[in-house]
Structure formats: structure tokens, C-alpha cells
Structure 1
Amino acid sequence: NQQSALSPAGPVARQQDQLWRIVFPIAVVVFVLVQGLLLVALVRYRARSDDDPAKLPKQVAGNTRLEVMWTIVPALILVGIAVPTVKTIFDLASKPDSPLEVRVVGKQYWWEFEYTSAEPKGIVTANELVIPTGRDVYLTMESTGQDTGDPDGVIHSFWVPRLAGKQDVVPGHRRTMTIAADEPGVYQGQCAEFCGLSHANMRFAVKAVEPAAFQTYVQQHAEAPPAPDGELAARGEELFTSATCIVCHGIGYGEDQARVGPNLSYFAERDKFAGYILDNDVTEGAANVSAWLENPQAVKPGAQMPNLQLSDDDIEALVAYLATLSSER
């Protein structure tokens, strides 16, 4: 299962899984014992037809041995659970040595990722986080309005089950967590806290690659994509930069780039878009991309992108431009 917390794929998830493997059997034993004793009491001491209603059952009080037992045994169980739990909490709360640092911003209804470490500093992307295998990734998370500088966001919850547990992302607060992956792969994640109409469509992916491949990714994405080739793509770029698109979407990085909507640098390389729910077919017919540009609300109810009333010619030009946003040209 791509989103199974029972199939950990990194050291953080494994540490949490080990804690679960300690607590769950204890909880099962306690549940069976309590429910078993309850059933015994219900059956053995149930009312019978020949009971004298005026006669009370035998009263038992002041049994020191029983009272000591049901005080000490639960206390020992709680201590047995508390020690590994507290240790795990403190271990996971500490910042690892020399991590890859990423700022995560939850918006309605997508995730923005900004690399803040010295090496890949400044790269901004959306819904797909590329990380190297075998290295801790330290996430600093916050929730904002659609503009990253707007503090008025809503509560989200960042959850990529195979790499780590959930972490609520609360407006006005910065939360941190560490994730890491052992093997290359795509690890599915999603928002796990109801955040509005399109909450179920607020997904993302962590793409783990070998360290050498990650260095290549950083080098190829450190700068804005080159200017497009071809007349139609050039017209699409002109339309993008002169119309409403550039007001919300950045191409390239820096303080002057808009961050209301997803940064679209290297959009053509992404597997999915629109909150990671639609296959990115911008270079393969572009049916999904064209439908999105025509009417985002019809594709993803609750989407913040308005219907711009684009003509078919405008959509064709924008698709041609978006298809050039790739390092593989």
C-alpha cells in the first residue's frame, strides 16, 4: 500500500513503527483482560429468576490485596509504555546533524516546498518534494493564506505515512519534523486535517533519488528555465507574463516572484499537478492541462484559481509554453 504506515521506508518511520509494536500488544492484552473480566462478571452475577429481590448480593469491600494489585499493575504498564514513548518523542523532536532543510507551506489546497539549505537554497516547487536517499530532511512547516506572506491560513496536517507520522500545520505557528528515505521511490502523502472543500484533493509526493541524482536535480533547477523555442510557445510566454498568470505564479526564484499559486518552474517535469491529483500530460496531448486552464473549478471544486475565460487559442499557446518548462530540452 502506497500510504501504509505499517510499511516504513525510512529510519524515522521505523522508529515510530517500533514504538507502535511495543504499545499495541500491551493494549491488546489489557483490552482482552478487561473485556474478559467484564463478560465473566456479567454472566456470573446476572439476575436470575429465583433470586430474592429483597436480598442484596454479598458485599465485598476493603480487600487490600486486590486494591494494591489493580493500582500497581496499571502503574507498571504505564511506565513500560511511557519510557520508550518519551524517548522516541525526544529523539524525533531534535534536529539531526547536517540535514537537508526545506520550508513547507500549506495552502488551500496544495503544498509549497522551498529548499533553504545552503546548497540547494532558493529552489521553490509545488506538491513534489525531491530528496536524496540516506539523508535526513528537516522540514519547517507553516500554514499561510494563498500569498506566502499572508498569515491567515487554515489548519493542515502533513502526512507521508511511509516516511513519518502526521504533523499538524497551524497558522501562526512553525512546526518541525524530520523525514528520510532508505531507497529511491515515490512516497505518497496528503493533507490529513480537513481544511476546506477540496481537502481530499490536497495531495503530494516525496520523490527519493540517489544522492548523485539529487545533485544533478539541484544543478539543473538552480536557475529559471531558459526562454522557449518556437513561435507558439513564445506567444504562450508572452500571454503568461502579460496576463493574470504572472500575478500568481512564479517562473524562476527570488523575492520578485509571485507565490500566490504554485511556482511553475520546470512544470513539464512534474508527474502530477492540481494538488497532485491530475496526471501531467502537458507533453502528451495535454488533455488534463487544457481542461484545467479552461475551467479549474470544474476539475477541482474549491480550487483558488479562477476561470480566466481563456480562448482555445490562448490555451493552446499556454500549453505549448508550459511544455517547454523542463531541464530536458
Structure 2
Amino acid sequence: MKARLSKWRLFSVVAMLALVLSGCGEPFLSTLQPAGEVAQTQYDLMILATLIMVLVIIVVMVVYMVAIVRFRRKKGDTKIPKQVEGSHTLEIVWTVIPIILLLILAVPTVTATFQLADTKAMDKKDADGNREALVVNVRANLYWWEFEYPDEKIITSQDLVVPTDQKVYFNVTASDVKHSFWIPAAGGKIDTNVDGVNKFFLEFDGKKAEEAGGLFYGKCAELCGPSHALMDFKVKALPKEEFTAWVEDMKNAGEPKPTSDLAQQGQEIFNKKCLSCHAVSPQDGRPESARLAPNLSNFGERSRIAGVLDHNKEELKNWISDPEQYKPGNKMTGTYGNLQEDEIDALAEYLMGLKVQD
């Protein structure tokens, strides 16, 4: 008996802990702290569905307990209860009520689905023939992300930069296997396919972005290989003026200039070993098939290395020395030959100096 009570106590503690932890989350990563129109709509639908489910559970449990208590056999009672076969009233009730509940859930869900799938605005143009909406082409790769701004003619990788309080439209594809593009705080995931383009939009609320420090996290939400869990990216949500300034800086970024002799050596090594895959200019005019690795034009401004390591020179040297250790299955391993320690040091010095904005 004591052992059984102990098990129930343990179960109760675990259940309460799970309930408490389910409410935890950071504003830059939690679907339960929506940071935009799309996320808020989806959150409201989740709440509605949850309330309906809770209501059904409560009603069923109440009926169940009443039936157990009221109609259980009493001591000494040997009578056979009245046998009832069918009840038109009950059958109508338990048919109509689920239909009503389904309609309550289905109508807003279907309405929201069509609203969130409406991307016609991304093709609208002004009197001068320029597209009015901001469009970003997202390309998923093993295990990194590329973000192309076709109208601005700039490309970046790993860091998606967007304006706040404005709809941002996306064309999402994949270059190798199926992935899934997901920014939990901004909206639900959408698949990135090799043989087609999916379109959708997101919006980042300015106040929510400020609370999150202007930074949200994105992930791949489709199992794609051994480093699937490490396929992260960052979203920098900027006020409109700052975003416009960033775009101009990216457009006007020239060829990177090493700031030291060591960085100069690193650039020479980079040009020999890395330039065939990587680019160091936001204006990368090569076709997608030639863009085999992340664009490094603003590498020195990033907050993480390869999405998983702290952004400092030592971690960068560790990554260059053995990328397979940190991201198994990546396509960088073994493509640039063996580098000596001094070459790695020079290369890291050069890469850490790649910046578009000071």
C-alpha cells in the first residue's frame, strides 16, 4: 500500500512539474509568446481548441462520476435496473453538440487558414513598376540557411534581417533534401521542398521585438540528417529606419579590406581554399547552383559560428580545424585540404574582420 502511495506521489510531482515547465519560454523562441500577427492568430486558435477540449473533458468526467455514484449497486440491492434500449433525445443531444463544437472550431480555423495563405500582395507593384512588398527568398541547405532579397539584390546567410510592423513575404525552397522553415515566436513552420516553392508571410511586432532584444531564433523543423538539431538561424527584427539603413549598407558594401598583415595572409588563403564555395560580398550574382556555402560578407557581425558556437576567434579556429566534430554530416569537411595552425589563425583573423556595419 505504501509503495502504491509513493508511486502516486511521484506521479503527482512529475505532473505538476510538467505543468509548470509548460509555461516556461523565452520571448525569442516560444510559440506561447507570439510576436506578430501570424503567431497571434495561430495562438488564438490553439487557445480556442484547448478550451473546447477542456470543456468536453470536464463534461464527460462529470457525467462519468455522476453515473458511478448515483447508479452504482447498493448493498443488499438485488433488483435488476430498468432496461432502457435507445433514447432519441440523448442521441440527438450527443450528435448535435459535437457538430456545434466542430463548427465553433472549424469556422475561425478555415477563415484564418485562407487569410494566412493570401500572398497576392507580394506581386503588387507601384506606378514605377517596383514591388511594394518586401520579399525574401529562403533557401535551406544541409545545414545552413541562405536569405536572398531579390529586389534589393543582396544575399546573406544564417542571419535573417527584417523590419518590424510590416508584412514580410517569403519564397521558401531547399537545395538538397526536404527541410522546414520555422520561427516559433513569429508563426508556424512551412516545408522547404527541392521541387517546388512555398509562399507565406510573417509580421514581427515592434514592441515584442524590443522585449526580445530585437533577436528571434529560427530552426529547421523537419528531420534532415545527423545535424538537423543544429540547423539554426537568427532573425534580427529592426525598426523600419534601421532596416533601411542596413539594406543600404549591404548594397554599398565593397570588397573586404584586411585590417592587418595577418588578415591579409588570411585573405590570400581564403581566396585559394574557400572562395569557390563561399562569397564575401552581399551582391553575389552567381546562380543558386554555384552558391555552395554560406555568404560570409557580414560574418564578423554574427552572434554565433555555424549556428552553434560562440562567436570568437578561438571557436572559429576550432570550427575550421574540424567542422565534422561540431556539425556531423556537413558538406564543408574535407573540401579545403589540411591547413597548418598558422594558416588557420590567419584565416580566422580575416573572417572575424568581415563586417558590413561597424
Q: How many residues align?
A: 310
Does structure 1 conserve the Cα–Cα contact (< 8 Å) formed by 2:119 and 2:169? yes
**Map of 1:18 onto structure 2:** 44
Residue 311 of structure 1 aligns with an amino acid whose one-letter code is Q
Pick the aligned partner of 2:296 from 264, 269, 277.
Answer: 264
**Map of 1:70 onto structure 2:** 94
The answer on 1:95 being equivalent to 2:119 is yes
Residue 199 of structure 2 aligns with an amino acid whose one-letter code is T
Percent identity among equivalent residues?
39
Structure-to-structure mapping, 1:10-89, within 5 angstroms:
10-38=36-64, 40-41=66-67, 59-89=83-113
1:57: Cα distance to partner? 6.7
1:49: Cα distance to partner? 9.7
- Superposed CA RMSD in Å reads 2.4
> Compared with structure 1, are the counterparts of its residues 95 and 328 closer, same or farther at alpha carbon in structure 2 (3 Å cutoff)?
closer
Alignment partners' CA distance in 1, 2:329 and 2:344:
21
The answer on 1:324 being equivalent to 2:353 is yes
Does structure 1 conserve the Cα–Cα contact (< 8 Å) formed by 2:255 and 2:280? yes
Summarize deviations over 1:11-52 as a string: whole Å, max 9, x none: 221122222232221121012223443455566677999898
Alignment partners' CA distance in 2, 1:141 and 1:18:
25
Residue 34 of structure 1 aligns with an amino acid whose one-letter code is V
1:131: Cα distance to partner? 0.6
Pick the aligned partner of 2:180 from 157, 177, 181.
Answer: 157
In structure 2, the residue corresponding to 1:111 is in which secondary structure? strand
In structure 2, the residue corresponding to 1:326 is in which secondary structure? coil
**Map of 1:171 onto structure 2:** 194
TM-score, L = length of structure 1: 0.86
Does structure 1 conserve the Cα–Cα contact (< 8 Å) formed by 2:249 and 2:357? no
Alignment partners' CA distance in 2, 1:277 and 1:15:
31
Segments of structure 1 that go 5 or more residues without pairing to the other structure are 146-152
The answer on 1:114 being equivalent to 2:141 is no
Does structure 1 conserve the Cα–Cα contact (< 8 Å) formed by 2:298 and 2:355? yes
**Map of 2:239 onto structure 1:** 210
Residue 162 of structure 2 aligns with an amino acid whose one-letter code is I
> Compared with structure 1, are the counterparts of its residues 316 and 58 closer, same or farther at alpha carbon in structure 2 (3 Å cutoff)?
same
1:109: Cα distance to partner? 1.4
Alignment partners' CA distance in 2, 1:99 and 1:169:
21
Does structure 2 conserve the Cα–Cα contact (< 8 Å) formed by 1:191 and 1:200? yes
Does structure 1 conserve the Cα–Cα contact (< 8 Å) formed by 2:183 and 2:216? yes
Residue 108 of structure 1 aligns with an amino acid whose one-letter code is L
The answer on 1:247 being equivalent to 2:276 is yes
Alignment partners' CA distance in 2, 1:79 and 1:246:
57
Does structure 2 conserve the Cα–Cα contact (< 8 Å) formed by 1:225 and 1:265? no
Does structure 2 conserve the Cα–Cα contact (< 8 Å) formed by 1:224 and 1:265? no
1:60: Cα distance to partner? 2.9
Alignment partners' CA distance in 2, 1:49 and 1:190:
62
**Map of 1:220 onto structure 2:** 249
Pick the aligned partner of 2:322 from 271, 291, 295.
Answer: 295
Residue 237 of structure 1 aligns with an amino acid whose one-letter code is Q
**Map of 2:343 onto structure 1:** 314
Segments of structure 2 that go 5 or more residues without pairing to the other structure are 1-25, 122-131
Summarize deviations over 1:207-246 as a string: whole Å, max 9, x none: 1011111111111112444332433222211211112x12
